[in-house]
A and B are shown apart, each in its own frame.
Chain A
Amino acid sequence: MHITSAFPEPIVKLNELSIAELRRLLDNREVSAQDVLNDIMGRIDAVEDRVGAYVTVTRDAARAMAERADSALAARRAGLLTGIPLAIKDNICTMGIRTTCSSKILYNFVPPYESSVTSRFAEHGYVLTGKTNLDEFAMGSSTENSAFQTTRNPWNLECVPGGSSGGSAAAVAANECIAALGSDTGGSIRQPAALCGVVGLKPTYGRVSRYGLVAFASSLDQIGPITKNVTDAALMLNVIAGHDPLDSTSAPVEVPDYASFLGKEVRGLRIGIPKEYFIDGMHQEIDHSVRSAIRQLESLGAVPVEVSLPHTAYAVATYYILATSEASSNLARYDGVKYGFRAKGKDLVDMYMQTRAEGFGPEVKRRIMLGTYALSAGYYDAYYKKGQQVRTLIKQDFDKVFEDVDVIATPTTPSPAFRVGEKATDPLEMYLSDIFTISVNLAGVPAISLPCGFTGGNLPIGLQIIGRSFDEATILQAAYAFEQSTSWHTRRPLL
């Protein structure tokens, strides 16, 4: 590649564009998919050693996909994502491309099959840039639990990007891809999106197929987009939403054109403000930004209503019983017998124990032990069963509030990005990072996080908008209205 000094640097680089903007340029043949990919790869070369967003950069696969995209564009057979470079969280299986879950135990696992979401992406012509870093098996809120590397927050390299989809959020924020997929079990899309100043959408449980998503907690896990703006989130959801015969928990509920809700006015939209999410002693700049955001929505005609979600206080405890119970079972298959890492052992049981002792990191082991305990004979009723009962109460809280309001607005996180290592030694403190996002997973409802301000230290702040089950359209509508009336989403970190 050569750069001629005769031309000035273009003001806008391709890597800085959104899906919607690139779609137009690509469809008009103003740029090729290979141009876009080259620019992204150049950006990765420039910043990746500082950000560490990727576990694997799939240069060869990307090049082949970009070539195919150009052929499709030339033949006027472009899909919604043809030629768009996207990053995939490394717990979503990609056929023939290593999928590690950022765990030593799967360091060499190459799936012989494709996840349903990436199959749909492929049908729509996407270009895979690589597999992004995460907290091992999506267990964590900082990406520090990766067995391979700690991803850094592009806004401040001393800080974490959040997690567990920290690699995807950082890659989007750093323009190392145009958009990405994450997965969200207790906030793993929304929290890193908030901390990295991008948009993250967790769809309703059952809206998007989980087939090919390596399970952490099956009743809570959901795949969703992490994007530069709300429009892109709607475009990505259009591709991945809908029933999948390979996932019995994916719902046969009709999928609207989410993009068609963008630009609809929010006049009269009732916004619930749950008092349990605005408490004494919370981070002042976050409190201030989120309240300003609500006023902004009010100025657009929305109607704020104070509401109560009385079982909020039990959400974190409930989550850590149910999620760990499911995880203890979901992670049993990593036993060294069939694939992945295997340690030597004196006999079968010893091989199991050594493999799992060496293959899993401390947080994963902690959760397996917690979950195993909660499901044990004599404890099941006190923990798992009770947890399910409280989960029902939490869900009923939301059902009740949604009788009165259309969406709920809260902060996404209790604090902005924290420093690498700051909470690494205190799991409980780390668990509280998800205090505002966890209830949403327990209730199964959809929620989006989008930028609504910055701290004095120039760290992004996220606004969370929660909706009714299968009503992603309304939260996208509200989020878009807010986004378009502010400029927070236009800010990019200097790297």
Chain B
Amino acid sequence: MRRNYEAVIGLEVHAQMRTNTKIFCGCPTTFGAKPNTQTCPVCTGLPGVLPVLNRKALEFTVKTGLAMNCRISPYSRFARKNYFYPDLPKGYQISQYELPVCEGGWVDISVDGETRRIGITRIHMEEDAGKNIHEGGSYSYVDLNRACTPLMEIVSEPDIRSPKDAAQYMRKLRTILRYLGVCDGNMEEGSLRCDANISIRPVGQKEYGTRTELKNINSFRFVEKAIEYEIARQIRIVDEGGTVVQETRLWDSAAGVTQSMRSKEEAHDYRYFPDPDLTPIVVQQSWVDEIRASLPELPDAKQARYTSSFRLPEADADQLTAEQAVALWFEAAVAAGAPPKAVANWMMTELMKHLNDENRPIEECPVQPARLAGLIALIEQGIISGKIAKTVFEEMYATGRDADSIVKEKGLVQISDSGAIEQAVDDILAKHPGEVARYREGDEKLLGFFVGQLMRAMKGKANPQLANELLKKKLV
């Protein structure tokens, strides 16, 4: 991106809510069932049926609004968004328009050590559409299993200035939604979707440029790529003396480009109006207070606590709080008595490496948090060395057993008996007179060689500090 332009980006994020049943009927929301097996007269839009709001969907939306610092409207409404499409069984989508549940919030994102606040214009509820299936041949098929699944639409202010910030914002939303347990945040499966409104303007200009709306961004990787491409496209147009056309564009991930989908003139007139089948949503303050009290500690608060109370570096705190399950694991290990930084180090290296290699969620980690604390305690107490501890950890991960019993069974207890170490040191010095002479002539790098020999002789169990001390003493 050339330096003389800045991008103005706003995101509309659709999050599929993890309710057990659909938003306006009792059908299950399970993903991947056989087509049209999770449907009923209501979600297939048969003549005469009526929607009834799933209270859980409202609760999830209020929860999300509170977590994103929104005002919760005491009175909101559903509206109908009218358009024809085969996967939309009623010919309209029940959504919210003039009066959404949540308004005026924000989330903070952190990019390159800097915190930026992104405004949330609104969060509203709506129903999802079904899916058209084109399998070739002269027919297309419609699967209505997904129809009427509850969605939240989270609309940001045009506060985002770079593709990287946009991706960071998406990750932050995902983190919060997962903390709240309201959405699984899986972009590839479509439970989290993102449309981007993008424009450019010369740096310093206040007015917005003409924006395009970008659809079909279906992975975190593509959030950045698609927006990057679109910004570059707009700058190229303006630099070549052209003007950006207001339109909806589609991100083509295979080709890595955006393509025009429909112009402003072809834009639908959705003819929104209040849905007369659903009464206004009245949210009592007492219920909002109840939901607020039930909110978990959110990532920002956790992050702050980790850096202040646990004195963790910001990068560690970031990494440990990105997933609630990881954070809770960390906290459990600390609660079992281990020093926070030691837990963080073990988690971010050995533990994560193993879990990532096996693509295993931390909830299924074979090592229990208290057992990692136990391992760390053995190191702290000098019972095993850090090096031995890695071997012990491997065994713990493979078997789920505790460190203590592994160390005892395999005889890995560190030798801190200076007599035994001294004996071994004497043996090694006797075996390597040449090296001893060179060391004494000033080649102090040879100390490492002696340590290696000593450790090998003692199967790694010598207390490293003591070994060093004794070697140095005898080599003088």
Contact = CB atoms under 8 A, between A and B. Distances in A.
Contact of B86 (A211, A215, A247, A337): A337
A394 interface: no
A339 B82 CA distance: 19
Contact of B84 (A211, A219, A352, A380): A352
Q: Can you list the 5 inter-chain pairs with the closest CB atoms, starting with the nearest?
A: A332-B91, A219-B276, A375-B271, A218-B276, A214-B47
A101 B41 CA distance: 17
Interface string A362-387: 00000000001001110010001000
Contact of A99 (B47, B82, B86, B92): B47
Interface in A178-205: none
B277 A248 contact: yes
Contacts of B142: 337-338
B458 interface: no
A87 to B, nearest CB: 18
A207 interface: no
A319 to B, nearest CB: 14
Interface in A326-363: 326, 328-329, 331-335, 337-339, 348, 352
B269 interface: yes
B1 interface: no
Contacts of B237: none
B90 A111 contact: no
Interface in A244-293: 245-249
A394 B269 CA distance: 30
Contacts of B41: 111-113
Given A218-B276, A249-B277, A338-B44, A210 B91 contact: no
A113 B276 contact: no
A333 B91 CA distance: 5
A212 interface: yes
Given A214-B47, A333-B47, A248 B276 contact: no
A333 B48 contact: no
B86 A112 contact: no
A329 B82 contact: yes
Interface string B46-58: 1111111100000
Given A106-B47, A376-B269, A377-B269, 18 more contacts: A111-B47, A111-B48, A211-B48, A211-B50, A212-B48, A219-B276, A246-B52, A248-B50, A326-B276, A333-B91, A335-B86, A337-B86, A337-B142, A338-B45, A338-B142, A375-B272, A375-B273, A380-B271
B80 interface: yes
Contact of B92 (A329, A334, A338): A329
Interface in B20-58: 41, 44-53
A246 B50 CA distance: 7
A245 B52 contact: yes
B278 interface: yes
A388 B155 CA distance: 29
Contacts of A115: 48
B279 interface: yes
A485 B449 CA distance: 121
Contacts of B278: 248-249
Contacts of B464: none
B80 A210 contact: no
Contacts of A217: 276
Interface residues of A, number: 45
B89 interface: yes
A329 B271 contact: yes
A97 interface: no
Contact of A248 (B47, B52, B80, B91): B52
A384 B271 CA distance: 10
Contact of A384 (B46, B52, B273, B277): B273
Interface string B84-117: 1010011110000000000000000000000000
20 contacts: A92-B48, A99-B47, A106-B47, A111-B48, A112-B41, A112-B46, A115-B48, A214-B48, A215-B47, A217-B276, A249-B277, A326-B273, A328-B271, A332-B82, A333-B45, A337-B89, A375-B82, A375-B271, A377-B271, A380-B273
A325 B45 contact: no
Contacts of B50: 210-211, 246-249
A338 B47 contact: no
A438 interface: no
A376 B273 CA distance: 10
Contacts of B82: 328-329, 332, 375
A407 interface: no
A245 to B, nearest CB: 7
Interface in A93-122: 93, 99, 101, 106, 109, 111-113, 115
A333 B93 CA distance: 11
Given A92-B48, A101-B47, A249-B277, A333 B53 contact: no
Interface of A: 91-93, 99, 101, 106, 109, 111-113, 115, 210-215, 217-219, 245-249, 325-326, 328-329, 331-335, 337-339, 348, 352, 372, 375-377, 380, 384
A310 B332 CA distance: 72
A325 B273 contact: yes
B344 to A, nearest CB: 50
B126 to A, nearest CB: 15
B45 A372 contact: no
Nearest to A250: B50
Contacts of A352: 84
Nearest to B275: A218
A328 B269 CA distance: 14
Contacts of B52: 245-248
Candidate in B48, B52, B91 with the most chain A CB atoms within 10 angstroms: B48
A348 B86 contact: yes
Contacts of B276: 217-219, 249, 326
B52 to A, nearest CB: 5
B369 to A, nearest CB: 45
A294 B162 CA distance: 76
A214 B49 CA distance: 7
Interface string B267-300: 0010111001111000000000000000000000
B92 A332 contact: yes
A332 B80 CA distance: 11
Given A101-B47, A109-B47, A338-B45, A333 B89 contact: yes
Contacts of B89: 333, 337-338
A219 B277 CA distance: 7
Nearest to A325: B273
Contacts of B90: 332-333
Nearest to B83: A332
B46 A111 contact: yes
B459 to A, nearest CB: 73
A333 B83 CA distance: 10
A116 B50 CA distance: 11
A97 to B, nearest CB: 13
A119 to B, nearest CB: 12
Given A99-B47, A101-B47, A332 B84 contact: yes
A461 to B, nearest CB: 33
A213 B48 CA distance: 5
Contacts of B86: 335, 337, 348
A384 B273 CA distance: 8
Candidate in B142, B272, B276 with the most chain A CB atoms within 10 angstroms: B276
Nearest to A115: B48
Given A113-B41, A249-B277, A332-B84, A372 B46 contact: no
B269 A218 contact: no
Nearest to B86: A337
A270 B66 CA distance: 52
Contacts of B273: 325-326, 329, 375, 380, 384
Contacts of B277: 215, 218, 248-249
A353 to B, nearest CB: 10
Contacts of A211: 48-50
